[in-house]
Chain A
Amino acid sequence: EPEVTQTPSHQVTQMGQEVILRCVPISNHLYFYWYRQILGQKVEFLVSFYNNEISEKSEIFDDQFSVERPDGSNFTLKIRSTKLEDSAMYFCASSPWTSGTDTQYFGPGTRLTVL
């Protein structure tokens, strides 16, 4: 069964450094998302992406964050200058958007630790 994959599984970085988290969505899906989950808290929406542009973003997704689909398969989340509070699990999700419903399928996550 097709799955969303994410790399790396764990990223450790120093505060102020740039990180790029990578995702390969399910191949026939058209809609892509990033969510994050701070330890012990709810899963929170960051951004959605369709047709090579951002569809919706949350207040968390400020100028330090950007997303890109550099080729036909990868979907990336870049954090330009990481802060301690960016430490979290980051989940990529994709959706086919079929018949007006939208089930989002999640990847296994990247654990980002900012020191």
Chain B
Amino acid sequence: TQLLEQSPQFLSIQEGENLTVYCNSSSVFSSLQWYRQEPGEGPVLLVTVVTGGEVKKLKRLTFQFGDARKDSSLHITAAQPGDTGLYLCAGRASVVSASKIIFGSGTRLSIRP
């Protein structure tokens, strides 16, 4: 069974600080997505990474896919209260079309003004 473990589960930091969220597995994934989910809403896609070692930036958010495609990280620089939310990583194990993605349990981030 493929699992994605996210850490930390909860993180509360002061506005302006930097933070990193981790997504780890013992399995290889063909691609990995990061989503953000607000209470009572669906996951909203932030980024997809496909190549081992790939780095993508989205304003103050930097996403990295591990070289072995088993792990990923999300780094936020100078966090703002608007970054507060639940961040989910989700991996796609198979390259077969229409295959499922597996979600991590999420990191709940709270940025204090």
Complex: A45 Cα to B105 Cα, angstroms: 13
> Is there an interface contact between B42 and A108, defined as CB atoms closer than 8 Å?
yes
**Whole-angstrom distance between the Cβ of B50 and the nearest chain A Cβ:** 5
Number of residues from B at the complex interface, CB < 8 A: 26
Complex: A6 Cα to B50 Cα, angstroms: 29
Name the one of A4, A41, A102 contacting B92, with C-beta atoms under 8 angstroms: A102
Hey, which chain A residues are within 8 Å of B40, CB to CB? 89, 109, 111
Hey, which chain A residues are within 8 Å of B50, CB to CB? 101
Number of A-B contacts (CB under 8 A): 70
Contacting A at CB under 8 A, from B79-103, are 88, 90, 92, 95, 97-103
Check if A12 is an interface residue, CB within 8 A of chain B: no
Chain A residue, CB-CB nearest to B103: A43
Check if B48 is an interface residue, CB within 8 A of chain A: yes
Hey, which chain A residues are within 8 Å of B90, CB to CB? 43, 104
> Is there an interface contact between A55 and B45, defined as CB atoms closer than 8 Å?
no
Where the two chains meet, the residues of A that have a C-beta atom closer than 8 Å to any C-beta of B are: 4, 6, 31, 33, 41-45, 48-50, 55-56, 58, 89, 91, 95, 97, 100-109, 111
